[in-house]
Structure 1
């Protein structure tokens, strides 16, 4: 049995045909950074919500990869609020 393997690009959203693939890729990178920082600081959802001044539901959406409704600017603000990774 032969299995065909298709090599994709470096942007999964482009491979899936999204019109806003570049923006989605950037937002996915920002979400990953936010998640890493929250984990590195060992923040509970409540503590992360207070630090970032957003609802816990928004944090939950980001951690589940549901960030389409959040602007790139807002995500950059969250990264800035978290500051350098590992700093508490």
Structure 2
């Protein structure tokens, strides 16, 4: 196999959008929150059962977060879980205007 057999495609930074998912932004935010939750669980060596006691969320749901099965979770529920596990973590959102690659913005 030679280098000519491969095409390099740069992603957008959102895998869900790259595959045409209509709910890409929400899924990306859920994935980022879940990654933070799993990071806290791992860093503090918290078991699923311990997380259940700390958060008040069923152990089965904590397992779902660990396995990235996020379809049944809302953003606010994931935020609450993270907040209960690690109140010192700050979550922020940044809003900006997007411009499509083929659009040109004129500044006057």
TM-score using structure 1 length: 0.89
Whether 2:98 is the aligned partner of 1:84: answer: no
The residue aligned with 1:19 is: 22
Structure with greater Cα Rg:
2
Aligned residues: 85
RMSD of Structure 2 on Structure 1 (CA): 1.1
Structure 1's consecutive aligned runs of 4 or more residues displaced over 3 angstroms after TM superposition are none
The residue aligned with 2:66 is: 63
Structure 2: tracts of 5 or more residues without a match: 90-108
Higher relative contact order (CA 8 A, sep 6+): 1
Greater helix share, 1 or 2?
1
Separation of aligned partners in 2, 1:54 and 1:63: 13
Separation of aligned partners in 2, 1:52 and 1:63: 14
Structure 1: tracts of 5 or more residues without a match: none
The residue aligned with 1:35 is: 38
TM-score using structure 2 length: 0.74
